[in-house]
Structure 1
């Protein structure tokens, strides 16, 4: 086992330029298409397992719609919708082991669902009832990074630590196309290549960095950047859950075997707003949105499963019912949350007692007591 970072350096993996055609195993109509060598990475996926992935897709979309409605009704301060990006998140997250670790942005709510985050824990920060969403160590996923791109460095550092500990766990950094112009993401790739860190950089290219189209910041495919750092990369149809699973499995396999990092560009589309405070109708061409609606990630899996005789109306209704039940639990978990005592904001600022914080707590308590009915 290496005792220092310098001792963990090995010869860099041969970087490869991604092919022009993204990996695709299910086309927009739900037809199975071959794409070597990735077919082998999902050869063991049964019809029932694909139906389970479809159920994940349906449920996370239903939760996302419910959360957006909750924000519109004043129950949440903000929500970052994932509509259209379900396959990229579910297909990659379901590959990971419990001892792997995810570092995400604020939009990876489907990844959180797959990692086992409780439904109410996805909402409490957006409702303002907690300072953090969940215990990262219970689910192998850090709480979302709001500052764009910082999670890439966190994932790289965690992966180097796992390697030094002699573990074969993998770290995954999720980010969007806009984050690829941030220094943090590029710095993370430099270090990951240098130390052959077992980390996957998973870029969801949803075509928009808020209102800036990806074509303004990337004159070539984003995946083309990674080989310049010495990191192999691959482009995948991010609306194809089977293809996403295949490329992620290959990247995870490489990382576990000591092959170092991989950069995945999942080409998808943000069908909703950047967040619920955004109005995409001001900058999105409706014809473009209509075109991407024809590539819907759920519709293609449903078409395939129905053609294969795996999904019938009864099973579809059962899945829809489970999604509605999850949405009802989601809503109840949101509206039933109690507002925390204002003074609890001082509880965990320092690990040890701190006179300055104690004085701030006292002053703020006096301020609250100055209101009618105030008592702290």
Structure 2
């Protein structure tokens, strides 16, 4: 059999990129050979003790937040809740590395990060309560609405960051995704556009091992999800997602790089959700107890408390204060969700288009008429009942 040699014999055309240029060397873009860790290493001594204690406090409050939100689903106060228990280090770090003018683009599991940005818990959980598409103003909070379709917030993050840069604003956008989100076309499009446009965006992939019930091995054959960055022309970083200090450090470096004009970064945080996908999921159908217990031994809250105590940076008084703050948040959440939500049916027609279409105006008018008729019928029925009672 004849083997044809298809290698070119002519000189490389001058219009092709220089083969010796920086684009030909992927080494600077390759991710860390092992996940970045700080807890339990000498590197911990380099960090501000106040930052470390604040991260611990946020982890304690975040764990209680997850517990209370899960309880609210059992009480019927929330329609669904995707818990981030076990992933709090990623949530806390994402909320704290951004500046006041930066933007967060969360997924449906990232309500803790949203609350960490200062959004009221009731407002952050409005979508999951089923009351409205979102409970907060994205423009005021600089936080996009929770995104339930996988990865569709990622291109939005790129577009906003690119537009801000064109206006001369030093804004960075942080898009949060799960490992399942990396299997979506929106993820590819977002990373490709971000790299081509050199947009100031950071992509944080919380790799918790499962896209609902599908393990990572059935999602990707890449050495790591961080390796996907190389194909788009941006650096990839790999970090221990249960090490709050490490996640904060890696994300802060990526945010600073983006703000300085260095372009986007893909960060993969290796973590694990200790709870089911949502309260509607039975995780025992696809996970064995030994796996869960092995990750429970690497609990981000337990790790943080142990290592800070060993370093003499945390005492019983600080632990008690954090616990009190956590309980106060839980009490606030219970009080907020005790009241039934008030709905305005006509709000369905708001914010659909900048200018309502004739069809929307017609539908809104029809609904307003039906609501007015129902109210009038109710008043008439009440008057009739009153007259009947008086006559009796």
Q: For residues 216 and 313 of structure 1, what CA distance do their matches in structure 2 show?
A: 45
Alignment of 1:272-311 (within 5 A): 272-311=275-314
Partner in structure 2 of residue 7 of structure 1: none
Q: What's the CA shift for 1:281?
A: 1.2
Aligned length: 355
2:323 to 287, 304, 320: 320
Judged with a 3 Å threshold, the aligned counterparts in structure 2 of structure 1 residues 374 and 341 are, in CA distance, closer, same or farther, namely farther
Judged with a 3 Å threshold, the aligned counterparts in structure 2 of structure 1 residues 90 and 164 are, in CA distance, closer, same or farther, namely same
Partner in structure 1 of residue 38 of structure 2: 25
Partner in structure 2 of residue 140 of structure 1: 142
Alignment of 1:327-342 (within 5 A): 327-342=330-345
Alignment of 1:334-373 (within 5 A): 334-352=337-355, 354-364=357-367, 369=373
Q: What's the CA shift for 1:373?
A: 6.2
Judged with a 3 Å threshold, the aligned counterparts in structure 2 of structure 1 residues 164 and 288 are, in CA distance, closer, same or farther, namely same
SS of residue paired to 1:132:
coil
Partner in structure 1 of residue 182 of structure 2: 180
Q: What's the CA shift for 1:267?
A: 0.5
SS of residue paired to 2:57:
helix
Q: For residues 153 and 379 of structure 2, what CA distance do their matches in structure 1 show?
A: 41
| Structure 1 unaligned spans of 5+ | 1-10
Q: What's the CA shift for 1:337?
A: 4.3
1:205 to 204, 207, 224: 207
Does the CA contact (< 8 Å) of 2:90 and 2:206 recur in 1? yes
Partner in structure 2 of residue 163 of structure 1: 165
SS of residue paired to 2:29:
coil
Q: What's the CA shift for 1:165?
A: 1.5
Does the CA contact (< 8 Å) of 1:129 and 1:337 recur in 2? no
- Could you tell which deviates more after superposition, 103-112 or 172-181? 103-112
2:99 to 97, 100, 115: 97
2:122 to 120, 123, 144: 120
Determine if the alignment matches structure 1 residue 153 to structure 2 residue 166: no
2:69 to 67, 70, 77: 67
Q: For residues 303 and 228 of structure 1, what CA distance do their matches in structure 2 show?
A: 39
1:225 to 228, 250, 258: 228
Q: TM-score, normalised by structure 1?
A: 0.88
Judged with a 3 Å threshold, the aligned counterparts in structure 2 of structure 1 residues 278 and 374 are, in CA distance, closer, same or farther, namely farther
The C-alpha deviation readout for 1:320-369, integer Å capped at 9, x for no partner, is: 11100001101211222432133332344344455433432344456565
Greater RCO, 1 or 2 (C-alpha within 8 Å, sep 6+) = 1
Q: What's the CA shift for 1:91?
A: 1.8
| Structure 2 unaligned spans of 5+ | 1-21, 381-392
Q: TM-score, normalised by structure 2?
A: 0.85
Q: For residues 25 and 166 of structure 1, what CA distance do their matches in structure 2 show?
A: 35
Q: For residues 151 and 344 of structure 1, what CA distance do their matches in structure 2 show?
A: 23
Q: For residues 63 and 86 of structure 1, what CA distance do their matches in structure 2 show?
A: 10
Partner in structure 2 of residue 265 of structure 1: 268
Q: Which has the larger radius of gyration?
A: 2
CA RMSD of aligned residues (A): 2.3
The C-alpha deviation readout for 1:32-71, integer Å capped at 9, x for no partner, is: 344xxxx7xx93x322321111110111111111011001
